[in-house]
Every structure is written in structure tokens, then in C-alpha cells.
Amino acid sequence: MNKEQALAIVKLHLTDHRFSHTLGVVETSVDLANRYGADPEKAELAAIFHDYAKFRDKEEMKKIVQEKLVDKSFLDYGDELLHAPCGAYFVKDEVGIDDQEILDAIYYHTTGRPNMTLLEKVIFLADYIEPGRRFNGVNEVRELAKVSLDNAIIQALENTIGFLMKRRHRVYPGTLATYNQLINTKKEK
């Protein structure tokens, strides 16, 4: 499947605003992939489909998590996280992409996970820093991304975890575990 075909499929499922975001993630992911040695074609495809399920019916996604996914804990942390694991499921089931690296990059693009692959890191970070994003701390993470993928992800996680804590929202355990693993790896170097 080429880029234009993939974008045409995704466009049907997104608002104009979210499609613009997706284009920014595509551009950023290819740049990061080229900079850090990930496969730019896989990064492009994962980026195109990363928000494929963003506007799916919440009840449909909850049912997918309950019936089809191994990790049911997504159900305990709000509806906002559902689109990532369900997106990976739908991309495989509906679009026919079965490359596990691409599916995992979609699955973990909101939460991260300990010991992320290079492609997972690229998609996670590209989603956070794409050019259309405007929030406190994003420019600092963009600058870090120019020199260190891991340091940029650590800062993005610190920002996200802090944001959630200030609002007294629960933090998905996999996100905390991702942060801890990256910090531990950094200390070992």
C-alpha cells in the first residue's frame, strides 16, 4: 500500500483537524526515522494509521478491548487511551496490515511501554511534537528530539505525567513503567 492509498483510507475516519495532525505526524516520523535509523517507510505507514480509531464509537472500542485484546487495563484509565490499542486491532482487521512492528507502534503511541523499539519511539515522539502541536513544554521536547530520542521521550513523559497529576487524573501504569525504564537505562550509561 502506498502513501496516497493509506492517506485516503485514513481520511475517511478523521476530522479535518485530526487529518492535519496526522500529516504532521507523518512528516515528523519520517524525519525522526531518518535521523535515528528507523525504517522510514514503516514509520510513515505507522504514522498515517496511528489515529485510525480516534473517532470510533467508545462502546465499540471497549468491547474490542474486552473481547479481543490481552491487556484489559486500558478500560481502567479513561476513553482517551482506547484508540491506540483498538487502532492497531482495526488496522490489522480492516486494512490488512499485519507487520507487527507497525501495529505495535500504533498500539503504544499514547502510553509508550518499557523497552520500546526504535519505531515505537519514533511514532510516540512524532505524535507528541508534530508541528501543529501547541502546548507548554512541546518546544523543549522538539529541541531535545534533535539530539536525543530518549531524552526527548523522557521529557515528553515528564510533561504528560505532570499534566495528568495536576488534574488528579490517573496515570496509566505502562506510561510510568516506560518513564522508569528510560531513566534507569540513562543512569546505566
**The three-state (H, E, C) secondary structure of 88-112, written as one string:** HHHHHHHHCCCCHHHHHHHHCCCCC
- Average pLDDT (112-138) is 97
CB 60 within 8 A of CB 94: no
* Residue 120 belongs to domain spanning: 3-136
Q: Is residue 167 part of a domain?
A: no
Q: Is the pLDDT of residue 38 over 80?
A: yes
**How would residue 172 be classed by pLDDT, with cut points 50, 70 and 90?**
very high
CATH assignment at residue 77:
1.10.3210.10
- Only one residue has cell 550509561, namely 189
Q: Is residue 147 part of a domain?
A: no
Q: What is the pLDDT of residue 186?
A: 83
Q: What pLDDT, in 10s, does the model give residues 58-77? A: 999 999 999 999 999 999 99
Q: For the chain, give the percent of residues with pLDDT over 70.
A: 99
- Average pLDDT (175-185) is 96
Q: Is residue 184 part of a domain?
A: no
Q: How many residues does the chain have?
A: 189
Q: Is the pLDDT of residue 188 over 80?
A: no
Grouping H, G, I as helix, E, B as strand and the rest as coil, residue 5 is helix
Query: Please, what is the average pLDDT of the chain?
Result: 96
Q: What is the pLDDT of residue 78?
A: 86
Q: What is the pLDDT of residue 26?
A: 98
Q: Is residue 159 part of a domain?
A: no
Domain count along the chain: 1
Q: Does this model's pTM top 0.85? A: yes
- Average pLDDT (116-137) is 97
Q: Is the pLDDT of residue 6 over 70?
A: yes
Tell me the C-alpha distance between 3 and 63, whole Å.
Answer: 30
Q: Is residue 182 part of a domain?
A: no
CB 114 within 8 A of CB 136: no
Q: Is residue 154 part of a domain?
A: no
Q: Is the pLDDT of residue 21 over 80?
A: yes
**How would residue 94 be classed by pLDDT, with cut points 50, 70 and 90?**
very high
Q: What pLDDT, in 10s, does the model give residues 132-161? A: 999 999 999 999 999 999 999 999 999 999
Q: Is residue 19 part of a domain?
A: yes
Q: Is residue 186 part of a domain?
A: no
Q: Is the pLDDT of residue 189 over 90?
A: no
